[in-house]
Structure 1
Amino acid sequence: MTQHTNEHAATPNPSTALLTDMYELTMLQASLRDGSADRQCSFEVFTRRLPNERRYGVVAGTARVLEAVRDFRFTDDQLAGLDFLDDRTREYLRNFRFSGHIDGYREGELYFPNSPILTVRGTFAETVILETVILSILNHDSAVASAAARMVTAAEGRPIIEMGSRRTHEQSAVSAARAAYLAGFHSTSNLEAASRYGLPAGGTSAHAWTLLHVDTDGRPDEKAAFRSQIDAQGPGTTLLVDTYDITQGVRHAVEVAGTALGAVRIDSGDLGVLARQVRNQLDDLGAYDTRIVVSSDLNEFAIAALRSEPVDIYGAGTSVVTGSGAPTAGLVYKLTSVDGHPVAKRSSHKASHGGAKRALRACRDTGTAVEEVVYPFDSGMPELGILHPVELTMPLVRNGEVVDDLPSLDESRDHLARQLVSLPWEGLALSRDEPALSVRFAGL
């Protein structure tokens, strides 16, 4: 695959203030009227359950959340359109700047049911209106990263290319590529993601390129397509060999590129059977170092099924950008304290635990995680006996300002790789119903 890396920093986003639901602003208006707007509150992001058969979730999108909070500024044009609000509320929004605190799990951290992923503290007015933008980012990115991490585990060290841009919204494609890279994907086909986040990019050609090349009588000329691609990109490129007959395609590829051909891609059919067939054919032709790339609606289960086959690289699209069938992580944003007093829902199947919280992971000497412990935000760390604490909650925003020296995307990517191997072995299984770790509440 052609590789390109650009280290440009993320560009500032336009105002994120209208990425919200109407009821947040109507609550704001009511709170300004009854005097509750300035009550000190804490909101918490957590999930009650993990989707599908997942045994863990991956926190992703935190850096994008902090950018969105920074850019939560109402313009005059935006305020002019909010005619359901009174003048006092519009004036409050005109001057809005988040001035509170945000703490939470770093990007690339694992989470489980009831993990306090993010805690937002400040006045009711400034914390309630951030709900939708925070959840929309964390739910999307965490769902993608959770699915992608399972694929990375299934691939057992073989590279995976993210190629799902055409299967989702154009902006979702960019954030999905970032989340997949965080989870351990090798590269992306999306050039906006590569430019915005400094990701490695990869891509060569589609079936349309091969179909384009016909002779003067209109007959397919696969060799001409391959020859042109080799002339443009060199013999190290990847040739798509299954547009017509795959055996003929492999033969044509080696005839044109020689044994220095970088890779061939298979995008249809029984991928395991075809990979074995192509590997044997490549070896018979002397192309021992030519790699095999497979794509075609791969998810973690399909990748796991191909582990024993001679596949070198995977390409994943639809399943990763849609969170492998779970386009949301099921995260919620709930009020947990008012003026220091714990508050909690008691609704059936939607009960919550009151109070601002932080968490640690209890680990053995070997580094294997045993459980997650959640405890009051301002209390001391609970006793763990012979287990070692690893603090999970870190400061992200103080007095409205993002803290310095937060982990980079690559640092978070490396962190996640380490956390995945800290789980008990059965925690990496693809088909289990229980979370890999239990979450215990201490002092709550």
Structure 2
Amino acid sequence: MTSALLTDLYELTMLEAAREAGTASRRCVFEVFTRSLPPGRRYGALAGTGRVLDAIAQFRFDDADLRYLRRAGVLQESTLEHLASYRFRGDVHGYEEGELYFPSSPVLRIEGTFEDAVMLETVVLSILNHDSGVASAGSRMVTAARGRPCIEMGGRRVHEDAAIAAARAAYVVGFDSTSNLAAGAHYRVPVAGTAAHAFTLLFGTEEEAFRAQLAAQGAGTTVLVDTYDVEAAVRTAVRIAGPELGAVRLDSGDLGEQAAAVRALLDSLGAHATKITATGDLDEYRLEELAGAPLDGFGIGTRLVTGGGHPAPGFVYKLVEREGADGLMHPVGKQSRNKATLGAGKRAFRMIVGERAHAELVLPGEAEIDEFERELTAELTSHAAHPDWRRTSLRPLQKPLLIGGERVQELSAPARVQAARDRHAASLAELGLPADAGPDGDVAIPTVTDGVEAARVLR
């Protein structure tokens, strides 16, 4: 299956008009960024980059696509002939998947001719906005869980394909497993799941249901204990399975109060190792309320896979540089109110002071970078410099992903997901955000787009 029709018509009509005007072959630089973070978000978590690269590789018009466009009657035959041989042959640089981003972070830079790059806008934004929306919410939930494992289980709340992508994004930011088998098959995300209320209701008694589940899954399974009476269900499960019972799950009511009562009951029955997991409309705020409850893990669905109230981070795909009639590259950018774009292809760095992230540097052009380096050297060699500032380093954020349309690094889909998971954990550690600070707060670090100002943020 191709990804070419996962786009908006105006991408193709722009292409056709540019070809007729003789400007389609001009070299261009497009950047993907978001102008702001949702209120209360300290950072965003980038997810979907691996899927974007797959979509670019599959972005070609097959016979069925061309037949549809021909029937639609929206493009000239010469344009359709061009599309028949289209392959992206440009370059893509970007933040590694799992990396944190902030306002104006150029998470992806696409370089090529206008006709090479303009058609990718819709599919790139579709993937990054969805996956990063899930990842940004999920990262906050993992932090609020304070080291307790989280299971993604929201597949029934979204489109079936989105469910797979959501499970992938959640795993990137630290979820331990998913209930979605397709995500397990495609990306090797660990899968988890035992039984729902329907299984208990299938039997004449709760004891019959528990015996059947334990016989099939072993004593290490998790039994759902709130179908009828929680205390009675816990006593029955331990009586049948013994102290080797793996876990009990709570799905309704006051989870904190019930967890305390169930923990005490399990201990009194000798089931000290039996864990308690919780599900039921959980999000980072609810997890924060449950921080002190004796719960050992969480299953999270709707609020995770729908982005925690902010399903689209607001990524945009903007032309920032293009070739002029003189053959040179020139910065360009939208200047309208509230939506201005800083022109020029930019380089991005995370300024690390000691072991902590201090600023996001997004510098347009070599002159800005040179100016920053001069100012930084002067600042760090001054007598007023704090000792930690002398351990300042810049971590380049943009890596080559595609060169000439070809992947720079060939990894399997599961390997790419694991690398993204590792990258997210390392980047989040650089912020040093304590879990007990709560989910919301100011943006964690400033974004600086001026070389002189970048050095001054050390003061």
Q: Calculate the TM-score normalised by the size of structure 2.
A: 0.90
Deviation at 1:328, TM superposition (A): 0.8
Which one of the candidate residues 63, 66, 79 is aligned to 1:79?
66
1:431, distance to aligned residue in structure 2 (A): 4.9
What's the counterpart of residue 353 of structure 1?
342
Query: Which of 252, 258, 262 pairs up with 1:278?
Result: 262
What is the identity percentage for the equivalent residue pairs of Structure 1 and Structure 2?
51
Q: CA RMSD in A?
A: 1.6
2:232 is matched with which residue: 208, 224, 248?
Answer: 248
Q: Is the 8 A contact 1:345 1:352 kept in 2?
A: yes
Matching of residue 415 in structure 1 with residue 428 in structure 2: no
Give 1:64 shift: 0.3
Q: Relative to structure 1, is the Cα distance of residues 429 and 330 closer, same or farther in structure 2, using a 3 angstrom cutoff?
A: farther
SS of equivalent to 1:354: coil
Deviations 1:276-324 (A, max 9, x none): 0110111111100000000001000111111101000111000110011
Counterpart selection for 2:280 from 286, 296, 317:
296
Aligned-partner Cα distance in 1 for 2:451–2:93: 19
Q: Which residue is 2:170 aligned to?
A: 180
For 1:442 and 1:60, locate their aligned partners in 2 and report how far apart those are by CA, in whole Å: 27
User: Please, which of 12, 29, 39 is the counterpart of residue 16 of structure 2?
Assistant: 29
Say if 1:54 and 1:430, in contact at 8 Å, map to a contact too.
no
Q: Which string of whole-angstrom CA distances, capped at 9 and with x for unpartnered residues, describes residues 348-368 of structure 1?
A: 111110001120011112x10
Aligned pair count? 424
Alignment correspondent of 2:326: none
| Partners of 2:431 and 2:270 in 1: CA distance | 42
Give the match for residue 457 of structure 2: none
Asked whether 1:400 is paired with 2:405, we answer: yes
- Match 2:136 to one of 143, 146, 152: 146
TM-superposition CA deviations, 1:376-404 (whole Å, max 9, x none): 35565642443211110110000010112
- The residue correspondences of 1:24-423 to structure 2 (distance < 5 A) are 24-82=11-69, 83-214=73-204, 221-339=205-323, 340-365=329-354, 367-376=355-364, 382-383=372-373, 384=376, 385=380, 386=390, 387-404=392-409, 408-423=416-431
CA positional deviation for 1:16: 0.2
Unpaired runs of at least 5, structure 2: 324-328, 381-389, 453-459
CA distance in 2 between partners of 1:360 and 1:192 (Å): 36
Give the superposition deviation at 1:434.
Answer: 2.7
Call closer, same or farther: CA 1:245–1:432 in 2, change over 3 Å. Answer: closer
The answer on whether the counterparts of 1:103 and 1:118 sit within 8 Å (CA) in structure 2 is yes
CA-CA distance at 1:405 after TM superposition = 5.2
> How far off its partner does 1:175 sit?
0.3
2:387 corresponds to: none
SS of the aligned residue for 2:430 comes to coil
Deviations 1:91-126 (A, max 9, x none): 111000000000010001000000011000001111
Report the Cα offset of residue 421 of structure 1: 1.8
- Residues 111-146 of structure 1: CA distance to partner in whole angstroms, max 9, x if unpaired? 000001100000111111000000000000001011
Deviation >2 Å, runs of 4+: 376-382, 405-408, 424-434
Question: Alpha-carbon deviation of 1:51?
Answer: 1.4
Larger relative helix fraction: 2
Offset, 1:430: 4.0
Q: Which whole-Å deviations, capped at 9, do the CAs of 1:414-433 have from their partners, x for residues lacking one?
A: 22112112115379844545
Instruction: Specify the code of the residue in structure 1 equivalent to 2:12.
Output: L
Please tell me whether the aligned partners of residues 284 and 439 of structure 2 are also in contact (alpha carbons under 8 angstroms): no
SS in 2 for 1:129: helix
Whole-angstrom CA distance in 2 between matches of 1:427 and 1:283:
28
**1:371 aligned counterpart, secondary structure:** strand
5+ unaligned residues in a row in structure 1: which ranges? 1-13, 215-220
Distance 1:443 1:335, change over 3 A: farther
Q: 1:66 to 1:438 in 2, by over 3 A?
A: same
Q: Is the 8 A contact 2:140 2:439 kept in 1?
A: no
- Distance (whole Å) between structure 1 residues aligned to residue 129 and residue 434 of structure 2: 25
CA contact (8 A) 1:376 1:443 kept: no
**Distance of 1:373 and 1:280 partners within structure 2:** 52
Inter-partner Cα distance in structure 2 for 1:409 and 1:246: 38
User: Which amino acid is the alignment partner of residue 318 of structure 2?
Assistant: K
Q: Is the CA contact 1:427–1:436 (under 8 Å) kept in the aligned structure 2?
A: no
TM score, norm. by length of structure 1: 0.93
